[in-house]
Amino acid sequence: MPVEPTYTRRAEPGITAREQTRHRVIDAAMDLLERGGRDAVTTRAVADAAGLQPPALYRLFGDKEGLLDAVAEHGFTRFLAAKRQIDPAPQDPIKELRDGWDAVVEFGRTNPALYLLMYGEPTRSTAVIRIGLEHLLDRIRRIAAAGLLRVEEGLAVQIVHAAAGGAILTWLSVPEPQRNPELLVALRESMVTTVTTREPAVREQGPAGAARALRAALPGQNALSEAEQQLLAEWLRRLSA
């Protein structure tokens, strides 16, 4: 009984053709997704854009969910491949963790629709996010091997995953002009010091803490006029930055 059939069970162009149309459909769906958001990717629109009929989608992906899963997986693996091309030899594992965080945050920022498709609804996904979690676990393991992991491996994975998801989702939920890049680095450093054992560089607060306290206590005093108070508030903002 040949495990490998002696004859070509299927002509090479056959598989290739099917795989090609699959790819074409995925590309079309991804294009619609990025262009018009999730509601724009409908079976008919995808079929139209890919130049075939709606039933073909079901023969290729079985389901609309299957199609979306394929889209998510393709987009994510493409991102991973691009990242791996950049990532050189292994280095400081904590720096690797930071780089990975930055990369996935960048991915979420530049592909919001795709990211929301993957992480937006906790019910689905399983397939795609498992890939991401595997990669994350790799990084965590290297930190553990270096003796720098503060918590248990599985917990560390979940912490990083949750922090990144929260960061990206709130980033996307905030209207564009109000987005604050400090949020991303603050959450990243918070997660790094939570997961790894390396004393955070305690930076001296200086006048910032007192300025914030005074600003919070300003309403309710009457030693300053309205105009003075406004100018003071502006200075306090600068001091607390």
Partner DNA sequence: ATGAATGCGATAACACTGATAGCAAGGCTG
Partner DNA sequence: CAGCCTTGCTATCAGTGTTATCGCATTCAT
> Which residues contact DNA by CB under 7 A?
5, 7-11, 13-14, 17-18, 21, 41-45, 52-56, 58-60, 63-65
Q: Count interface residues toward its own copies (CB under 8 A).
A: 75
- From its own copies, DNA, none, which one binds at residue 90 (CB under 5 to 8 Å depending on kind)? none
Helices of type H across 111-223: 112-119, 127-145, 153-173, 181-195, 208-217
89: contact with its own copies by CB under 8 A = no
Residue 101 as a binder of its own copies (CB under 8 A): the answer is no
**Region of 7-15, 61-69, 79-87, 143-151 interacting with its own copies (CB under 8 A):** 143-151
Q: What is the DSSP letter of 177?
A: G
219 bridge partner residues: 221
Kindly tell me which residue out of 65, 92, 152, 230 binds its own copies, with binding defined by CB under 8 A. Answer: 152
Spatial CA neighbour of 241 closest among 191, 207, 194: 207
DSSP helix, strand, coil percent of the chain (3-state; round to 5)? 75, 0, 25
Binding mask 160-199 for its own copies (x = CB under 8 A): -xxxxxxx-xxxxxx-----x-xx--xx-xxx-xx--x--
The answer to whether 133 and 168 are in contact (CB under 8 A) is no
Residue 91 CB, shortest distance to its own copies, in Å, is: 17
Question: Could you give phi then psi for residue 196, rounded to 5 degrees?
Answer: -105, 160
